Structure 1
Amino acid sequence: MVENNNTRVIPLLPLRGLLVFPTMVLHLDVGREKSVNALEKVMLEDHEILLSTQKEISIDEPGEDEIYSIGTLAKVKQMLKLPNGTIRVLVEGLSRAKIERFTDNTEMFEVEISILEEEHMDNTLEEKALMRNTLHQFEQYIKLSKKISNETLASVADITEADRLADVISSHLPLKIAEKQELLEMTSVKERLTKIIEILNNEQEVLGLEKKIGQRVKKSMEKTQKEYYLREQMKAIQKELGDKEGRSGEIASLREKILEANMPESIETKALKELDRYEKMPASSAESSVIRNYIDWLLNLPWTRETEDVLDINHAEDILNEDHYGLEKVKERVLEYLAVQQLTKQLKGPILCLAGPPGVGKTSLARSIARSLNREFVRISLGGVRDEAEIRGHRRTYVGAMPGRVIQGMKKAGSINPVFLLDEIDKMASDFRGDPSAALLEVLDPEQNSTFSDHFIEEPYNLSKVMFVTTANNIGTIPGPLLDRMEIISIPGYTELEKQHIASNYLLPKQMKEHGMTKGKLQVKEDALLKVIRYYTREAGVRSLERQMATLCRKAAKMLVSGEKKRVVVTDRTVEDMLGKPKFRYGLAEVEDQIGAATGLAYTTVGGDTLSIEVSVVQGKGKLILTGKLGDVMKESAQAAFSYIRSRSYELEVDPSFHEQNDIHIHVPEGATPKDGPSAGITMATALVSALTGRPVKKEVGMTGEITLRGRVLPIGGLKEKSMSAHRAGLTTIIMPKDNEKDLEDIPKSVRDELTFIPVSHLDEVLKVALGEKKQK
């Protein structure tokens, strides 16, 4: 760098975001007070001013350290004051100059400068070669960038001085201020030209890459435009062929529905992907209808729609009581669920299993649960389902594929939190097509059902908010793993009093409405209802009772229409005229005390029942004959009772050699009905002892319990149902295993108050209660 020692003091104009090279001519707008003062002074003197760039554009009042020390000495050629107060000046760069120091002038920037001389090369040929190379590179840059006109190139090509060429080209390059300042500070022409060639090479590489990217984007856009054009042509052809509406409207409508369906992101992506396939596929293609069906299923399923629960316990209790009489345990469980839901707002849907005999209101109770929660209700029947695909659906590769019943039920419900009833879950079967109960494991597991997988939908579906309710007549036939996932709520048969209340308040009004009856036309007395319950029905539920109510309404309708009567009143005396002879015998299981006949209590799928066991001792060779279609377990109970009596013959006052001279025949009436189970053990033993000792069994006593070879009495199941059957049959005393005392609280109070329960742990205690005194021959 060569400095001219001739220094002088001139005003300084700091530039923001702009740098002026020597030989450049350009306009500047000046508005800052100090800059305006500097210009006014310049115009009064020799019109020369120093133009130096400030380092930070954002600073409004720069200090001495914030202005580059090397700038350009320029001549102000013209100055014009604008209406907004700023001054527009035309300046021409003359030469490089260096700031030696700042003066103390506070009205403007004033500096002492020294002129920097250009350093030319000694070898003129090298200088020419550099100039030619620079010019060539600049020409290539202009061709690629297309931002500089050809006239500019022509004017630059006419320059013969190396320093001027470097400065002119520098002024046209898209460089940052710091990079331009670096070129301004280079006084060596050789260094400057070499740096410019390097910059031009870099810019050409960047522009070449930009051009490639642009061509790639253009090609992609052209392909899209081509596809759009072809698609429009296809639509026009389809329209001409008879597809009047075309598929465009359908596709647009489906796309809009998908975007508005509020699906999870993964499902929405899948649906749009399938829609794109559908759009590109010919309408005549078989797969086209499969895809359309699939999209429809995705659109119709509730992904996020949820009904708001009514978490008012009192309201729910009123609805449950309005729809059903009794069933306190189930109602209590539903109210507990509501209470927890109100506290947490996020309880997973429970899986309740309502187990009990037919006709006790399991299905209608599930409907009432939905109404009390203000939820949608959907029911599917699993009776006779053998195919796993009924639960999980078929894969879309099969003809006529459909989702499983669970997904179909969710579509029908229209919300993600319905009450979902799986009816008759104990009547599923399995064969070569799979095991549907195994497929239900995922549906009914709260830890898994948030990502339930259906073969047809192929995407996970959230079932965690569904309240599943299942019904079963016999939980013994439900596989263990499936039973483990459910909360069992046992619904036993109704007592006589409950049936009377249900008939009076629910069944009769319903049947009268269906048969066009009013209270003025038909009246059924309470004693008539009781007679119908006792002599015309024998069931745990109330289905047969409802049919009898319907029969009464039909008979009354005929009387009214024929003009035989104007008002029908049914009493206990007129029931037989309308319903015929009684179908069942009500009252004591036995009319009088019997020798060799004991009344047992049995549990069946339709509730409890009484079972008469008869024993006959005849001359023979010691055979034990068992009849009445008994199962293996019941036969073994008879043999255990027989062996116990032989081992305790002296204590029981039985001839020790009775088995050598007599055949023992045990018979259970209703021989066409299969019977099995261990709970008839003490009944058989009591009947045997009665037959062998001649002591009668008390007619009012019923009993249940399993017996061992040592005479111990073991606990049994179904005590509640058995007690209700005993109450219905008119028994007053129940002998039961001591270990079953805990089950007494499950028995309705109305039944418990009318029966005497005697817990026993050994057969000796049973015999003391059940057998009367030995009759005289």
Structure 2
Amino acid sequence: MSGSSRRPASGELPLLPLRSMTLLPGIGQPVELGRHASVDAIRMARERPRDDPRHRLVIVATQREELTERPGLEDLYPVGVLAEVTQALLGVGSRMTAIVRGIERVHLLEVDRIQTPSIARYQRAHEPMGDPTLAYALAGTLQDLVRQHDGLLPTNAQSKQRTQGLAVINAERAPSRIADLCATHVGLESTELAELLHELTVTDRLRKVVEFVSHRIHVLQVKRDLDRHVREHLSRHEQEALLRHKLRAIQSELGDDDDDHGLSELEIRLEEADLPPDARTIVDRELGRLRRMNPQSGEATIVRTYLELVADLPWSEATATPDSLDIEAARALLEREHYGLEKVKQRIVEYLCVRKLAPRKRGPILCLAGPPGVGKTSLGRSIAQTLGREFVRVSLGGVRDDAEIRGHRRTYVGALPGRLIQSMKRAGTKNPVFLLDEIDKLGGPDLRGDPAGALLEALDPEQNDAFEDHYLGTAFDLSRVIFVCTANDLHKIPHVLRDRLEIIELAGYTVEEKISIARDYLLPRSLEDHGLETAALELDDDVLLSLATEYTRESGVRNLQRELEGLLRDVAMELAQGRAPRQRLGRDDLLRVLGPPKYHDERVDHSPAPGVVTGLGWTPTGGRLLIVEATLTQGEGTLRLTGRLGEVMKESAQAALSLVRSDAHRYGLDPNFIGKHDVHVHVPAGAVPKDGPSAGITLTTALVSVLTGRPARTDIAMTGEVTLRGRVLAIGGVREKVLAAHRAGIRQVILPRQNAKDEPDIPERVRQDLRLHYVDHVDDVLSLCLLEPEPAPAPVDADPDADAAQ
């Protein structure tokens, strides 16, 4: 043959039926021929002229039954192989040995048995690839498996021919050829080869070969392990017997001859654990295995560790601590430990009241959400104190493996139970208070699983009475546990997990609240921690005010405590060195110890200017001012946005520009003027990402201000989403945003009218200092915020002498 292009895609060729073997494309194989019809088929193929495309070509097919002497179409498998006769040798009598090489798969259409040899009519088979990426991946996996297979073969099975065959497989790149070469190289059974011959889709064929080769690798591994075990068993058995004899002699000399190695004590602990029936069945089975094992073996250590964990877990109701349901004592404890947070404390008291009336009721899963430093973790500890229960904190920040929640299966080396079961063992009671800290910091789904999904069963009151840890291997009752979660950003909690939580939001503190917390809570505690409880130390009110406004800027009080402790360390150093400590700390001490103030007024400029507007934004750490600057340059009417803005905020800016362009005549603007100037909008603090729709009215005001030349007032801050028709829509985080404006000294805030319902959430003292404007349309915002344009300076008269000179 001069090339594959000359091979006929269909036609009639001599038939070479095979009794008990299957030929695959790309494979050359010797065939012993004894039937006259088969010998004649080889001769007919070889006697054709060399310029005939059918020269040396035959159709090779596998018989369904070996005893059929002259098979017809119904006696053959429907898919055969177009093959080339590369060599033929005459044997004794009428026998012949032929070497045939498979070329491609064909469909058998008809077999004519009248002639000798039989003539088969065929048509080339279409072999679809399937998914190319999957095909190449499976082909690479198959090449690796064949190399592993040959590596497991005994030395006497290795040969130069197998090494050459493996090299051909490794060099091949076509997935279809890799499948056929590997199947023949490994030596699959004839029935398996026939199954592969009839699989025309390449990806499905590769899957089958991978399964067949994997099975043979497993068989070879088992044989190798059995041989090694037989070789080593006698010597290892004799050595272990000698070591056990020495160990008994040593224990006898030390007076520590414990025949059962503490097994009796472990059995007593397991009996007292009051295990449920399913757990008892597993424990009895493991105890039986442990009795039959060598105590010094590694497997015995694993089983003993498991049984000791089961014995340490609080299974029995007797381990539960009785609830202390003194409502007034609980209310007093919450007031003593926490300042403000009235709604949160009220919800906790309600929870205790329901628990008192319905002790067996499964309560909700509380989630305390708010910025850092507002007291979420300490509130969870207070819940445990009010109930008189054990408190266990489980930090979930950065957990990315679901095995951290549900444990590892004991088949793995170094397996451990999950954090929930470990914490139950540490608590020692059936009804502790679990604080799942930073639940919003759980890692998302990846190759190691979904830890948030693993929490669903534990946090569902309808399912957690049968929580199953992978390491424990049996159901454990978590229904008596009170779960309390904390989070900074609710949007990062998966919806299915958030649906199981009752959200209690904790907003940031006002400046007055921070000063009260510092004076009544932080200062006494810090004095005790620094050994200054005997020192009559006082702080001026302006010192606490400066700490809360100039040295910290946060929603919570964590950094405020750090700065306060910095002051006290200086006093402690003086006292430790024998110098008389100061009795009162003033502002001069702040500058000397903590340095100059770290924060100043967030407003960039106190004088009104066109294009500069003060907005309000929300972050997981609290509210903040959002200064928006807009300017004009010569151009073609394009909008440029800078300041690390998110997609939603960019869309708000584009919507604001479209609104201004569509209503240019209402604002006294020339549409042609807008089309000849580029607008650049920048939000300072460019390193901080910003996103969300609530800056819509701020961006619109900035654009109208810069285009009309009307300055915007700096004593007004605003927040609200705007539509293309100018309507102002509601936003979230009102309390945090208003508190941010109040901290910055702004006394007027523009809010959407739909957010009037959120006004009760704003502290009363802040509402007294602020004037809140509720608006429905962007025109209301512009009338409140924009000033009249400043008059242009009068032109200077030209010098008359200069005119005369000209």
Same fold (TM over 0.5): yes
Q: Distance in 1 between matches of 2:630 and 2:682?
A: 6
**Paired AA for residue 297 in structure 1:** L
Deviations 1:149-188 (A, max 9, x none): xxxxxxxxxxxxxxxxxxxxxxxxxxxxxxxxxxxxxxxx
What is the aligned partner in structure 2 of residue 613 from structure 1?
628
Query: Could you say which residue in structure 2 is the equivalent of 1:32?
Result: none
Alignment match, 1:322? 336
Aligned equivalent of 2:421, options 399, 407, 410: 407
Q: Who is 1:213 aligned against?
A: none
Structure 1 position 675, deviation (Å): 0.9
Q: What's the secondary structure of 1:659's corresponding residue?
A: helix
2:320 counterpart SS class:
coil
Q: 1:543–1:236: structure 2 CA closer, same or farther, 3 Å change rule?
A: same
Contact kept? 1:589, 1:730, Cα under 8 Å: no
- State the percentage of identical aligned residues: 50
Matched, 1:695 2:741: no
Are residues 370 and 718 of structure 1, via their aligned partners in 2, closer, same or farther at CA, if it must alter by over 3 Å? same
- 3-state SS of paired residue (2:331): helix
Contact 1:258–1:272 (CA under 8 A) maintained in structure 2: no
Which residue of structure 2 lines up, in the alignment, with residue 504 of structure 1? 519
The CA deviation string for residues 230-252 of structure 1, in whole angstroms up to 9 with x for no partner, is xxxx9999744647432436222
Offset, 1:672: 1.0
User: Which of residues 723, 740, 745 in structure 2 aligns to 1:708?
Assistant: 723
User: What is the distance in 2 between the residues matched to 1:433 and 1:762?
Assistant: 50
* Distance in 1, Cα, partners of 2:539 & 2:358: 49
- Write the letter of the residue equivalent to 2:727: R
Shift of 1:270: 2.7
Which residue identity is paired with 1:264? P
Structure 2 residue 467 is matched with structure 1 residue 455: no
- Measure the CA separation in 1 of the matches of 2:461 and 2:292: 41
Contact 1:600 1:613 in 2 (8 A): yes
Q: Which residue of 2 aligns with 1:738?
A: 753
SS in 1 for 2:653: helix
Partner of 2:688: 673
Contact 2:603–2:614 at 8 Å: present in 1 too?
Answer: no
Partner of 2:84: none
- Displacement of 1:332 in angstroms is 1.3
Match of 1:245, SS? coil
User: Which of 273, 276, 299 is residue 287 of structure 1 equivalent to?
Assistant: 299
Amino acid at match of 1:275: L
Residue 437 (structure 2) aligned to one of 416, 419, 423? 423
1:660–1:540 distance in 2 versus 1, CA, 3 Å: same
Name the CA distance, whole Å, in 2 between partners of 1:312 and 1:256: 38
Task: Determine helix, strand or coil for the equivalent of 1:246.
Answer: coil
Whether contact under 8 Å (1:300, 1:411) holds in the other structure is yes
- 8 A contact 1:255–1:272 mirrored in 2: no
Query: Take 1:600 and 1:376, find their aligned partners in 2: how far apart are those partners?
Result: 46
**TM-score by structure 1 length?**
0.68
Match of 2:312 in 1: 300
| Residues 576 and 262 of structure 1, relative CA distance in 2, 3 Å threshold | same
Shift of residue 710, structure 1, vs aligned partner: 0.8
Deviations 1:60-111 (A, max 9, x none): xxxxxxxxxxxxxxxxxxxxxxxxxxxxxxxxxxxxxxxxxxxxxxxxxxxx
Q: Residues 363-402 of structure 1 correspond to what in structure 2 (within 5 A)?
A: 363-402=377-416
Residue 673 of structure 1: how far off its partner (Å):
1.0
Is 1:648 aligned to residue 663 of structure 2? yes
Contact kept, 8 Å, 2:404 with 2:419, in 1: the verdict is yes
Query: How far off is 1:521 after superposition?
Result: 4.8
Q: In the TM superposition, what is the alpha-carbon distance from 1:273 to its structure 2 partner?
A: 2.9
Deviation of 1:317 (Å): 1.1
CA distance in 1, matches of 2:448, 2:686: 37
Q: What is the CA–CA distance in structure 2 between the aligned matches of 1:601 and 1:709, rounded to whole Å? A: 21
Q: Give 4+ residue runs of structure 1 displaced > 4 Å after superposition.
A: 234-238, 561-565, 587-590
Alignment partner, residue 599 of structure 1: 614
Which residue matches 2:353? 339
Change beyond 3 A, Cα 1:472–1:330: same
Specify the code of the residue in structure 2 equivalent to 1:295.
L
Question: Which residue is 1:201 aligned to?
Answer: none
Tell me which amino acid in the other structure corresponds to 1:547: R
1:657 is paired with a residue of what secondary structure? helix
In 1: Cα distance, 2:272 partner to 2:673 partner:
87
CA deviation profile, 1:678-731 (whole Å, cap 9, x unmatched) = 110100111111111122211111100111111111111111111111111111
CA distance 1:638–1:249, shift in 2 (3 Å): closer
* Alignment of 1:276 onto 2:288: yes
Letter in 1 for 2:519: S
Shift of 1:269: 3.5
Q: Within 2, Cα distance between the matches of 1:748 and 1:614?
A: 31
Cα deviation digits, residues 515-546 of structure 1 (max 9, x gap): 12136353212221011111100111111101
Measured against aligned partners, the alpha-carbon deviations of 1:103-142 in whole angstroms (never above 9, x if no partner) come to xxxxxxxxxxxxxxxxxxxxxxxxxxxxxxxxxxxxxxxx
What is the distance in 1 between the residues matched to 2:246 and 2:545? 79
SS of match in other structure, 1:380: strand
Contact 2:408/2:417 (CA < 8 Å) preserved in 1?
yes
- Aligned equivalents of 1:361, 1:751: Cα separation in 2: 21
Pairing 1:361–2:370 present = no
2:362 corresponds to which of 348, 356, 371: 348
Aligned residues, how many? 544
Contact preservation (8 Å) 2:603, 2:627: no
What's 1:191 paired with?
none
In the TM superposition, 1:455-604 aligns within 5 A as 455-518=470-533, 520-562=535-577, 565-586=580-601, 590-604=605-619
Judged with a 3 Å threshold, the aligned counterparts in structure 2 of structure 1 residues 694 and 467 are, in CA distance, closer, same or farther, namely same
Q: Would you say the 8 A contact 2:456–2:497 is kept in 1?
A: yes
Q: Are the aligned partners of 1:352 and 1:487 in contact in 2 as well (CA < 8 Å)?
A: yes
> How large is the Cα RMSD of the aligned pairs?
1.9
Q: Tell me if the contact between 1:317 and 1:335 (Cα under 8 Å) persists in the aligned partners.
A: yes
Secondary structure of 1:307's counterpart equals coil
Give yes or no for contact 1:349–1:465 (8 Å, CA) kept in 2: no
Query: Does the CA-based 8 Å contact 2:632-2:706 persist in structure 1?
Result: yes
How far apart, CA to CA, are the structure 1 residues paired with 2:430 and 2:762? Answer: 38
**Pairing 1:224-263 to 2, within 5 Å after superposition:** 239-240=248-249, 242=251, 244-248=256-260, 250-263=262-275
* Partner Cα separation in structure 1 for residue 372 and residue 257 of structure 2: 55
| Distance of 2:370 and 2:672 partners within structure 1 | 47
Shift of 1:284: 2.5
Using the alignment, how far apart are the partners of 2:245 and 2:281 within structure 1? 29
Deviation at 1:452, TM superposition (A): 0.2
Using the alignment, how far apart are the partners of 2:672 and 2:680 within structure 1?
Answer: 16
CA contact (8 A) 1:444 1:468 kept: yes
Distance 2:673 2:697 in 1: 20
After the TM superposition, which of the residue ranges 327-336 and 516-525 deviates more from structure 2?
516-525
Counterparts of 1:486 and 1:658 in 2: how far apart (Å)?
A: 54
- The CA deviation string for residues 638-681 of structure 1, in whole angstroms up to 9 with x for no partner, is 11111111111111122222222222111100111111111101
Tell me the distance in 2 between the aligned counterparts of 1:566 and 1:364. 32
| Cα drift, residue 272 of structure 1 | 2.9
> In the alignment, is the contact (CA less than 8 A) between 2:602 and 2:625 conserved in 1?
no
- Secondary structure of 1:758 counterpart: strand
> Structure 1 residues 707 and 587 mapped into 2: Cα distance closer, same or farther (>3 Å)?
closer
Q: 1:650 to 1:565 in 2, by over 3 A?
A: farther
User: Residue 248 of structure 1 aligns to a residue in which SS?
Assistant: coil
Given that 2:571 and 2:581 are in contact with CA atoms closer than 8 Å, whether structure 1 keeps it comes out as no
- Aligned partner of 2:292: which letter? K
- Deviations along 1:544-586, one digit per CA (max 9) or x if unpaired, are 1011001101122234445665424112344223321111114
Q: State how 1:737-776 maps to structure 2 within 5 Å.
A: 737-776=752-791
Contact 2:710 2:786 in 1 (8 A): yes
Aligned residue in 2 for 1:266: 278
